Amino acid sequence: MLPLGSCGVGVSDRSDLQDFSVCSSDSFWAAVARQRLSWIRPFHTVQDCDLSQGRIRWFEGGKLNVSVNCLDRHVHTCPERVAVIWERDEPKSEVKLSYRQLLEMTCRLGNLLRRRGVKKGDCVTIYMPPCPLAVASMLACARIGAAHNVVFAGFSADALAERIRDAQSSTVITVNQGVRGGKVIELKKTVDAAIQSCPTVQQVFVAMRTENPVVMTAKDVAMEEEMAKEDTVCEPAGMDSEDTLFLLYTSGSTGKPKGLVHTQAGYLLYAALTHRYVFSYHDGDVFSCVADIGWITGHSYSVYGPLANGGTTVLFESTPIYPDPGRYWEMVQRLKINQFYGAPTAIRLLLKYGDKWVHKYDRSTLKTLGSVGEPINTEAWEWYHRVVGQGRCPVVDTWWQTETGGICIAPRPADPDAEIVPGMAMRPFFGIKPVLMDTEGKVVTSNDTSGALCIAQPWPGMARTIHNDPQRFTETYCQPYPGYFFTGDGAYRSKEGYYQITGRLDDVINVSGHRIGTAEIEDVLNQCSAVAESAVIGFSHSIKGQGIYAFVVLKKSIDVQEADVTRQINDMASKKIAKYACPDYIQFAQRLPKTRSGKIMRRVLRKVVDSELEGLGDLSTLDDPEVVQEIIQGHHDLL
């Protein structure tokens, strides 16, 4: 029984509630927002949205503080309940923090940030691996009204610098060194390199993850030492519902990564509600989302959703195979994890190591298994369900995006007993109305068809805009199908009306669950001195989901060895973006297939890489059809 009946919605049956949440969206969200969030001042308007204009506003007039919702209210009722379990890289060395401890840590840091001049409306960049101080940093920003910009700690100095500059941060929070898979990562040094090109940065807070000292400059602040001097009480800022809570950069099909803007009340409410219902989270459960906090999955399901619900959340710092491929399941046994939420790429990797690593450990505490970030193939789904979950735990394949703030389509948003079809996200969450569009931009009404996936009405968790580029937001998401939110994904709707995501419709690819634009990689390749031009294609990869295949044309005037260029390309991709941006294959070509107007025909390249030579399609617009044969030959030679 959904505890929503008591909130005045007056509907008890779950399928009725789903209909009600869509058809009477304002009443639904108003009731849930009143019931589930603590407000400093109530809102007067549920929503003021016009998707065709890109205007999205929820709960206006309301004031609240997100950190109070995530911490103080639970400290009042159960101060000693465990809020976070930090599963450190070193196995069996977990650290637990109660709600009281996490609140104290957050308050000390909030006071420190305030004392060092961080103000409401500023944006603080956080470059840290998952750890309690990273969560406290996010919540401390929320406490004092600053926005945060968490940058995945695997990003290079250049990528970090680009994000700091766009966010105009004057404060950066980092750790001396990271530790992952037994290796030490020089995060502070990366920040030092990044801020060389960030004139706005005035101070860098450095926490100590390891005992190794690092060189401290005039800008650096020893974080723990300074926090120890602060008070454990910090006055929370009263924030408007639509003030920015955070920026999070993600890749699009063209141009630079975009800083999506999420705001306070709507985001928090949506993260909390999805966390509770999609995973059937109950009080006292131990929830483990193994995504990094640098991605939206970590934001919504390692931090905000579980903490808003007063839950216990696991922060995973390690890798699925360190020190061996039993890591996840040993952790499940030791921490008595009830919900485990991970990425298909890791499941596929572990599947290859065999069942023995799973069987070694007791997984009887597990109740729900979740999958996110990319399509989960049937083999991986079955293994996750049968071997990991012993056939008794539902596997929920959850579809959503950085833009949507939280899960939008998942098998069990409402009914914990509903049927689940392997490899399908299936059903929309409360308040979500998915539609499919045909190639003419019309809504597809029949079932057993595919189309471009749009969402027909706004929901509180959706991103509001792109930082510094509101026009790009409107153009990308609101204008392709006026009045609808366009996701960029394609989907199939089955005879029964269930949704299955078929993949991106644009040039965004998903490598080991990391989202990246092929244009971003091309941009890097083209910066290599010997490269004349390049084209990057995603291809189906048995572990990573998608791999990166680069076609590279070298400058004729330069005499270089291909092996040297390969090395240079890999160095550049790691340096400019991150290690996962390095191509799996580089095919050197004399020229690329182009139209007469000079556009690279990616469709042809994609077909060659996918070995679909019969389906090359119409080649009549090619400038020189001969090129295709050269490309096919080169592809054969490479594999």
**Is residue 504 within the footprint of ligand WTA (CB under 6 A)?**
yes
Dihedral of the CA atoms 581, 586, 590, 594 (nearest 10)?
-50
Total number of residues binding ligand WTA (CB under 6 A)?
21
How many whole angstroms separate alpha carbon 4 and alpha carbon 28? 9
* Other residues' Cβ atoms within 10 Å of the Cβ of residue 31: 22
52 Cα distance to chain centroid: 25
Select 158 or 397, whichever has its Cβ closest to ligand WTA: 397
Binding string, 547-586, against ligand WTA, x = CB under 6 A? ----------------------------------------
* Binding test (CB under 6 A) with ligand WTA, winner from 400, 477, 484, 551: 400
In angstroms, what is the minimal distance from the CB of 514 to ligand WTA?
Answer: 7
* Residues 266-325 within binding reach of ligand WTA (CB under 6 A): 295-297
Nearest distance from C-beta of residue 535 to ligand WTA, angstroms: 21
CB of 465 to ligand WTA, least distance (A): 16
Closest to ligand WTA by CB, 198 or 509: 509
> Does the footprint of ligand WTA cover residue 489 (CB under 6 A)?
yes
> Measured from the CB of residue 208, what is the shortest distance to ligand WTA in angstroms?
30
CA-closest candidate to residue 299, choices 516, 149, 168? 149
Which residue type is seen at 97? L
Query: Is 402 near ligand WTA (CB under 6 A)?
Result: yes
Nearest distance in Å: CB 425, ligand WTA: 5
Residues 421-450 that bind ligand WTA (CB under 6 A): 425
Out of 298, 305, 311, 373, point to the residue binding ligand WTA (CB under 6 A).
Answer: 373
Residue whose C-alpha is closest to residue 236's, from 80, 386, 67: 67
Least distance CB 569 / ligand WTA (angstroms): 24
Q: Cα(602)–Cα(535) distance, rounded to whole angstroms?
A: 8
Q: Please, which residue, 244 or 371, has the CB nearer to ligand WTA?
A: 371
Q: Closer to ligand WTA at the Cβ: 207 or 426?
A: 426
Does 498 sit near ligand WTA (CB under 6 A)? no
Q: Per CB under 6 A, does 106 bind ligand WTA?
A: no
- Chain-centroid distance of CA 562 in Å reads 35
Please state, in angstroms and as integers, the Cα–Cα distance from residue 636 to each residue in 43, 167, 244, 410, 633, following that order: 63, 45, 51, 40, 5
Query: Is the previous residue joined to 323 through a cis bond, with omega within 30 degrees of 0?
Result: yes
Residue 89 makes contact with ligand WTA by CB under 6 A: no
- The answer to whether 369 and 382 are in contact (CB under 8 A) is no
The residue count for the chain: 639
The candidate with the shortest Cα–Cα distance to 123, out of 90, 145, 92, is 145
Whose structure tokens read 């298909």?
Answer: 344
The DSSP secondary-structure symbol of 566 reads H
When CB distances to ligand WTA are compared, the closest residue is: 402
- Tell whether residue 220 is a contact of ligand WTA (CB under 6 A): no
Cβ neighbourhood burial of 212 (10 Å; 0-12, 13-18, 19+): exposed
Closest distance to ligand WTA from the beta carbon of 366 (Å): 19
- In whole angstroms, what is the distance from residue 41 CA to residue 61 CA? 8
Q: Considering only 17-25, 66-74, 140-148, 397-405, which stretch makes contact with ligand WTA by CB under 6 A?
A: 397-405
Which of residues 515, 544, 594, 635 is near ligand WTA by CB under 6 A?
515
Our CB check for ligand WTA shows the closer of 125 and 510 to be: 510
Rounded Cα distance, 182 and 318, in Å: 8
* Residue 552 dihedral angles phi and psi, to the nearest 5°: -130, 130
Q: Quote the least distance from Cβ 410 to ligand WTA, whole Å.
A: 8
Beta bridge partners of 371: 342, 397
Piece of 201-209, 367-375, 411-419, 567-575 that binds ligand WTA (CB under 6 A): 367-375
- Taking the least distance from each CB to ligand WTA, the nearer of 240 and 374 is 374
Nearer to ligand WTA, 241 or 368 (CB): 368
Distance of alpha carbon 524 from alpha carbon 16, whole angstroms: 51
> Which of these, 489, 496, 482, 498, lies nearest to 442 by C-alpha position?
482
Could you tell me if 85 and 312 are in contact, meaning their C-beta atoms sit under 8 angstroms apart?
A: yes
- Does the footprint of ligand WTA cover residue 374 (CB under 6 A)? yes
Among 111, 176, 250, 368, binds ligand WTA (CB under 6 A): 250
518 binding ligand WTA? (CB under 6 A): no
Select from 57-65, 173-181, 371-379, 477-485 the region that touches ligand WTA (CB under 6 A). 371-379
The secondary structure of 468-486, three-state, reads CCHHHHHHHHHCCCCCCEE
Minimum gap (Å) between residue 300 Cβ and ligand WTA: 8
CA distance 326 to 315: 17
Structure tokens at 405: 């703030």
Residue from 21, 476, 510, 518 binding ligand WTA (CB under 6 A) = 510
Task: For residue 136, give the H/E element and its range.
Answer: helix 132-144
Q: Is 398 in the site for ligand WTA (CB under 6 A)?
A: yes
Q: Return d(Cα 162, Cα 576) in angstroms, integer.
A: 10
Q: Which of 173, 171, 119 is nearest to 146 (CA)?
A: 119
Q: Which is nearer to ligand WTA, 125 or 274 (CB)?
A: 274
**Per rule CB under 6 A, is residue 485 in the interface with ligand WTA?**
no
Instruction: Considering the complex, state which of residue 14 and residue 515 has its C-beta at the smaller distance from ligand WTA.
Output: 515
Q: Give 236 or 305: the residue with its C-beta nearer to ligand WTA.
A: 305
Which range touches ligand WTA (CB under 6 A), out of 102-110, 188-196, 264-272, 368-376?
Answer: 368-376
489: CB partners within 8 A, 6+ apart = 399, 401, 452, 453, 501, 502, 503, 504, 505
Nearer to ligand WTA, 220 or 292 (CB): 292
Q: Which residues bind ligand WTA (CB under 6 A)?
A: 250, 295-297, 372-375, 397-402, 425, 488-489, 501, 504, 510, 515
